[in-house]
Amino acid sequence: MVHPQLSIVIPAYNESSRIEGTLERVMWCVRKCNWDAEVLVVDDGSTDDTTAIVQRWMKTHERLNLIKNPGNRGKGYSVRNGLLQAAGDIVMFTDADLSAPMEEASRLIAALDAGADVAIGSRWLDKQRQTVHQPLYRRFFGRCFNKLTRTVMGLPYKDTQCGFKAFKREAAQKIFRLQTIERWGFDPEILFIARKLKYTVVEVPVTWGHDERSRISYLRDGTQMLREMGEIRNNSLRGRYDEAIAAMKDTSTMVTPPVERVNGAEAG
């Protein structure tokens, strides 16, 4: 089976106000960079026109695909669902707001080509690359959360939460089959799993601009993420990741999540 070089996964929930602009920018970048790429939008049970807009674009973009989650499951589920369905030799995800410009994917790809298994975008390795800064309170809570995450999870990265990460296909297939967290706290878990699997993870500074339309609430979602970190530590202490890794050697256990995938060629 011949795989595209790159799969770009975009999780989306009620993104009708910006998904068209996102697709326009991503498709332009694919052409400009001459990437051999497919683009997968994962709809997380949107109640607005997100899917209709994507399907309209699919009529004229053969390598644009739509994946529909079974209801609203969360960003972590959407990313997992998309990356496990992706066909690329390199698979990546980016937030629908494109806070990290799509062109920055070249930096992640270069890190993988240089030998990394996982390349994660970072807003904090080079602060001068931030084009639009977060409000002070968001920066404060974000850095506090990241510090706590690094301490509790034993992760050495300056930025665990940036929604711009790329993986070699083999690494993604193993990491995301072990993922259990379905909402905002999935980022620390997949990095924790990557380290447990002895994969090489490289943090890459990327250009990044804050989008005021960000839906994350540091109080509500931060509290949820703290609970999820507790789940991850508990799973690890109970040996559940080790058990899952051992079980994964039996290919019969490698079941992909439920999915409804619509290909660009079928959209008309």
User: For residue 221, is pLDDT > 60?
Assistant: yes
Residue 264 lies in a domain: no
Residue 140 lies in a domain: yes
From CA 2, how far away is CA 8, in angstroms rounded?
Answer: 17
pTM equals: 0.86
Residue 161 confidence (pLDDT): 86
Residue 14 lies in a domain: yes
Q: Which positions ≥6 away from 29 have C-beta within 8 Å?
A: 35, 101, 102, 103, 105
| Token couple for 174 | 């193993």
**Which residue in 92, 94, 70, 113 sits closest to 259, CA to CA?**
70
The mean-pLDDT minimum among 101-115, 150-164, 186-200 falls in 150-164
Q: Dump pLDDT digits (tens) for 24-64.
A: 999 999 999 999 999 999 999 999 999 999 999 999 999 99
Phi, psi of 244 (to 5 degrees): -65, -35
**Which residue in 187, 197, 190, 182 sits closest to 248, CA to CA?**
197
The mean-pLDDT minimum among 39-43, 50-54, 70-74, 236-240 falls in 236-240
Q: How many CB atoms lie within 10 A of CB 254?
A: 13
Residue 262 lies in a domain: no
| Token couple for 99 | 């806070």
User: For residue 186, is pLDDT > 90?
Assistant: yes
Q: How confident is the model at residue 249 (pLDDT cuts 50, 70, 90)?
A: confident
Residue 113 lies in a domain: yes
**Domain total of the chain:** 1
Residue 59 confidence (pLDDT): 97
**Which residue in 25, 11, 114, 146 sits closest to 72, CA to CA?**
11
Residue 51 lies in a domain: yes
**Domain of 112: which CATH number?**
3.90.550.10
Residue 230 confidence (pLDDT): 85
Pair type for strands 64-68 and 260-262: antiparallel
Residue 208 confidence (pLDDT): 81
Residue 86 lies in a domain: yes
Residue 148 lies in a domain: yes
Range of 38's domain?
6-256
SS3 state of residue 145: helix
